[in-house]
Amino acid sequence: MNKSDLISLIRRKHSFLCIGLDTDPAKIPSHLLDAEDPIFEFNKVIIDATIDLAVAYKPNLAFYECHGVRGWQSLTKTIQYINNTYEGEVFTIADAKRGDIGNTSKQYAKAVFDPNSSGLDFDAVTVAPYMGEDSVKPFLEFDGKWVILLALTSNKGSDDFQMMTSNETNFRFFEEVLIKSLSWGTESNMMYVVGATKAEKLQEIRQLIPDHFLLVPGVGAQGGSLEEVAQYGLNKDCGLLVNSSRGIIYASSGKDFAKKAREEAVTLQKQMAAVL
């Protein structure tokens, strides 16, 4: 999905909601555990209940890889279901946080972007920038695909490195990532992760990257504020994908889980519509 299609999708749905499909069999409703593929069945119902409200879905690959072949099959079925049933209706993100030397990154990129190789056909993948340009470039070689580069994350440990200040430039590490990576891609194939719990930094970040999209996790269960994210992070094209995972998909553990998930998504979507 290209940038103009993503912007059109946001405007049509009056939403910049991304729903994280961090599906854990220990947390899904017990009545689904008898299904042939409980993880896929749960995902399918959540997607059907929220497709008109969300502009993106973001499976965290760790929740699938931990189940080996069965988990990979659940993930493949989930993405194929989205692409076949709701083509053009939603943006898909592989939350994989990959990052390795060039030849390895090429294989990671094929895993999420090449359906002939892996069966998966995501629109975007999260990538860690620590190993530099040659670890990121292979992901950018796929036309129409996006890299979402980790910049300033929402976890407590992010301060260990991301807030360190360079004695030479006086920039913090996350700012160095933003500045250096601008030459690697464009605003049409590269986004950045900025945690909602760091919303006060969004204004500074927008001074460095005014036109790029930001993927913002941490709203909801992690305590991030949608109002603050919108206040400091919106640009002329919206420029935001705000993710909520647990707060939506685990709104209920009963047979009404889809209804409750939709209600939580509606609440966020209405707030987003008002902002837009």
Q: What are phi and psi of 238, to 5 degrees?
A: 85, -65
Strands 240-244 and 56-58: unpaired
Cβ partners under 8 Å of residue 163, min gap 6: 172, 173, 174
**How many CA within 13 A on the CB side of residue 14?**
9
CA dihedral 141, 144, 149, 153 (to 10 degrees): -160
Q: Cα–Cα distance between 26 and 35 in angstroms, integer?
A: 14
- Position 3, amino acid: K
Strands 240-244 and 17-20: parallel
Residue 97 bears catalytic tag: yes
Residue 53: which of 14, 4, 25 has the closest Cα? 14
Cβ partners under 8 Å of residue 21, min gap 6: 43, 46, 57, 58, 59, 60, 63, 78, 245, 249
- Position 163, amino acid: M
Q: Cα–Cα distance between 140 and 36 in angstroms, integer?
A: 36
The two most distant CA atoms of the chain are separated, in Å, by: 59
List the catalytic residue out of 3, 97, 137, 260. 97
Catalytic site positions: 97
